[in-house]
Amino acid sequence: MSSAIDSVLTETRVFGPFERVANNANISGMDAYQALYDEAARDPNGFWERMAREHLVWDKPFTTVLDDSDAPFYKWFADGELNVSANCLDRHLNTPVANKTAIIFEADDGEVTRITYKELHARVCQLANGIKSLGYQAGERAIIYLPMSIEAVVAMQACARLGITHSVVFGGFSSKSLHERCVDIGASLVITADEQKRGGRAIPLKKAVDEALAQAGTESVKNVIVYRRSGGDVEWKDGRDLWMHDLVEGQATSCDPVPVNAEHPLYILYTSGSTGKPKGVQHSSAGYLLSALLTMKWTFDLKDDDIFWCTADVGWVTGHTYIAYGPLAAGATQIMFEGVPTYPTPARFWEMIQRHQCTIFYTAPTAIRSLIKAAESNDEHHPKKFDLTSLRIIGSVGEPINPEAWVWYHTHVGRERCPVIDTWWQTETGVHMITPLPGATPLKPGSCTLPLPGVDAAVVDESGQEVPAGKGGFLVIKRPWPAMIRTIWGDPERFKKSYFPPELKGYYLAGDGAQRDAEGYFWIMGRIDDVLNVSGHRLGTMEVESALVSHPLVAEAAVVGRPDATTGEAVVAFVVLKRPLPQGEEGQTIARELRDWVGREIGPIAKPREIRYGENLPKTRSGKIMRRLLRVVAQGENITQDVSTLENPAILEQLSQAY
């Protein structure tokens, strides 16, 4: 385990409670939290049964709660049937929510579109009917490669309505990544757009789909449905490609939701691991939706008149749970934003909060840190210039938030009146796991505080023994929970190996290092594996290395993370070329070429910040690359470790020059 995990906690400030929020919170005060937590701990099955009956609408009620007969392949509510889209839309139709705004969509150029629950339901039904008319059925898989748009939510919900399992691919991923995912899930349908608009630029999407589908292994794809976003030029394959507006034209505005088993895979979402290709994390229908809905009420303390805004992209799990499913199941009004926080100016978020009277704002530390920089260099972009008094709760997700950024967020965005909700969770956990409750938990900057009811989190050593307070260890979840990952699509062995190693007594291994303080608060110390977190995006070092070595010039590559004040981590690549060490200009040119190559292989987010060349990589005598040393070199620090076990100590000097 890296030494960072054992670092001493120095942060001692405590914030809250926040009376304004606590007074009428859904979970008000620590006693209420503790009571709910204890109820779940005493009788987990009874607790989840009660929640599932109270909060979901079932077509066929379940009789079993947890089936652990094939652990770790847990099943929840396994003989029940429901439909996720009906639980997000139809349930509201005969209530006042029907005419409430579901989504306030703000486009890149500022144009605002509102859609009510009733209208959203009709749109979802029309698309579902269109898809049905093409012959698609429950059990098939669809790739969704769409920009942030109402159409993205409609597409996800339409799939859910028909029992079609979707896999959303983030619009920033390359055609190569798209191809891999298409093949892995055996997609029969792709839903995309002509282009996406971000920061004033149009970026082609359909073109990437065409490239992906031109490659072998994608013969299963019968149709590509295209949402016309920009009107930009696209190539067309007759018989395969259909405009979304043509397909939905004249379709009925009602469509019976298909009841599916509680365990039916709602979606597969790819995420990086420490080895191999990205893993297709498979989520269930009932257990997942239940917790998506509950965490809206618990973590965000959602009320009828809230205006909720999660700034994540629907291509990530945060956009699944806290845009496409949770807010809709809860009947919330939410803001959805097409663009980027810095366009046209770095005040865009603050302007939008003011314009739409946002009450709950949920974003990533990277965004906060870059907006701090912008605000401090130009007063016009400072949140103090805007009326942010509508805010009640502000949240953070995706990476550790450093105490300085936390306090700035609390002071300048929350105006010291809003609790900062630092939510720890993962693609695999499906929903929030360890997080403060706004009306209950005293806050400590940099700590995600305490587990939600029903979450049995602990910090353990290599043998699964809990470590004492103040000691670092592995973050584990000791008991299964309803929204948990069900398997890795097509690779159950990898699922078991990655998350339930035998020495950990059947606990779920999160892959994060953590420690608890004397009050039981959790402090996440970062990944314990070879997964990087760049701007809140997960990246496997192996993926970037594979991309690099597939370039004809590259013989060998090792990739590590270096701490970065804005993006959390930055990718540093150490490269051995199949030719002599480049000098000066030439080194720059090759570095540029390699960065672009990685951008095309994976996506721009994976481009190395720095490339360093060596005639070799530092290796032990048994040939193992010493990544620990590379991390030190990447940070520009002097090597203090003993390097006598290295095969080739002189190489470290060479590698310290960056391009």
Q: What is the 3-state secondary structure (H, E, C) of 286-351?
A: HHHHHHHHHHHHHCCCCCCCCEEEECCCCCCHHHHHHHHHHHHHCCCEEEEECCCCCCCCCCHHHH
Nearer to ligand WTA by Cβ, of 295 and 426: the residue is 426
Task: State how far the Cα of 603 lies from the Cα of 356, in Å rounded to an integer.
Answer: 32
For residue 221 the two structure tokens come to 């794809």
Q: How far is the CB of 427 from ligand WTA (least distance, A)?
A: 3
Nearer to ligand WTA by Cβ, of 126 and 423: the residue is 423
Residue 138 and residue 162 in contact, taking contact as beta carbons nearer than 8 Å: yes
Q: How far is the CB of 4 from ligand WTA (least distance, A)?
A: 12
Residue 286 and residue 56 in contact, taking contact as beta carbons nearer than 8 Å: yes
Q: How far is the CB of 310 from ligand WTA (least distance, A)?
A: 11
Q: How far is the CB of 529 from ligand WTA (least distance, A)?
A: 9
Q: How far is the CB of 317 from ligand WTA (least distance, A)?
A: 5
Task: State how far the Cα of 571 lies from the Cα of 563, in Å rounded to an integer.
Answer: 9
Nearer to ligand WTA by Cβ, of 317 and 634: the residue is 317
Residue with tokens 């109270």: 54
What DSSP letter does each residue of 406-422 carry, written as one string?
A: HHHIIIIISTTTS-EEE
Task: State how far the Cα of 585 lies from the Cα of 55, in Å rounded to an integer.
Answer: 63
Nearer to ligand WTA by Cβ, of 511 and 608: the residue is 511
Q: Give the binding site for ligand WTA (CB under 6 A).
A: 271, 316-318, 397-400, 422-427, 448, 510-512, 524, 527, 533, 538
Nearer to ligand WTA by Cβ, of 116 and 402: the residue is 402
Q: How many CA atoms lie less than 13 Å away from 567 in the CB half-sphere?
A: 17
Residue 369 and residue 406 in contact, taking contact as beta carbons nearer than 8 Å: no
Nearer to ligand WTA by Cβ, of 485 and 577: the residue is 485
Task: State how far the Cα of 30 lies from the Cα of 32, in Å rounded to an integer.
Answer: 5
The residue nearest ligand WTA at its CB is: 427
Q: How far is the CB of 527 from ligand WTA (least distance, A)?
A: 5
Nearer to ligand WTA by Cβ, of 426 and 487: the residue is 426
Instruction: Give me the sheet containing 333-337, strands edge to edge.
Output: 112-116, 101-106, 333-337, 307-310, 360-363, 393-397, 420-423
Task: State how far the Cα of 49 lies from the Cα of 433, in Å rounded to an integer.
Answer: 19
Residue 312 and residue 452 in contact, taking contact as beta carbons nearer than 8 Å: no
Nearer to ligand WTA by Cβ, of 409 and 659: the residue is 409
Q: How far is the CB of 291 from ligand WTA (least distance, A)?
A: 13
For residue 371 the two structure tokens come to 């907006």
What is the DSSP pairing of strand 223-227 with strand 537-540?
unpaired
Residue among 480, 599, 485, 589 nearest 548 (CA): 599
Nearer to ligand WTA by Cβ, of 446 and 618: the residue is 446
Q: How far is the CB of 108 from ligand WTA (least distance, A)?
A: 24
Q: How far is the CB of 564 from ligand WTA (least distance, A)?
A: 15
Q: How many CA atoms lie less than 13 Å away from 257 in the CB half-sphere?
A: 24
Q: How far is the CB of 570 from ligand WTA (least distance, A)?
A: 16
Q: How far is the CB of 159 from ligand WTA (least distance, A)?
A: 21
Q: How far is the CB of 537 from ligand WTA (least distance, A)?
A: 7
556 φ, ψ (degrees, to nearest 5)? -155, 150
Give 3-state DSSP helix, strand, coil % of the chain, rounded to 5. Answer: 35, 25, 45
- CB burial class (10 A; 0-12, 13-18, 19+) of residue 439? buried
Residue 241 and residue 210 in contact, taking contact as beta carbons nearer than 8 Å: no
Nearer to ligand WTA by Cβ, of 261 and 321: the residue is 321
Q: Which 3 state secondary structure label does DSSP give 85?
A: helix
Q: How far is the CB of 398 from ligand WTA (least distance, A)?
A: 5
Task: State how far the Cα of 580 lies from the Cα of 553, in Å rounded to an integer.
Answer: 11
Angle at 605 between CA 600 and CA 609, to 5 degrees: 95
Nearer to ligand WTA by Cβ, of 456 and 615: the residue is 456
Nearer to ligand WTA by Cβ, of 383 and 540: the residue is 540
Nearer to ligand WTA by Cβ, of 102 and 418: the residue is 418
Nearer to ligand WTA by Cβ, of 149 and 435: the residue is 435
Task: State how far the Cα of 76 lies from the Cα of 213, in Å rounded to an integer.
Answer: 36
Q: How far is the CB of 382 from ligand WTA (least distance, A)?
A: 25
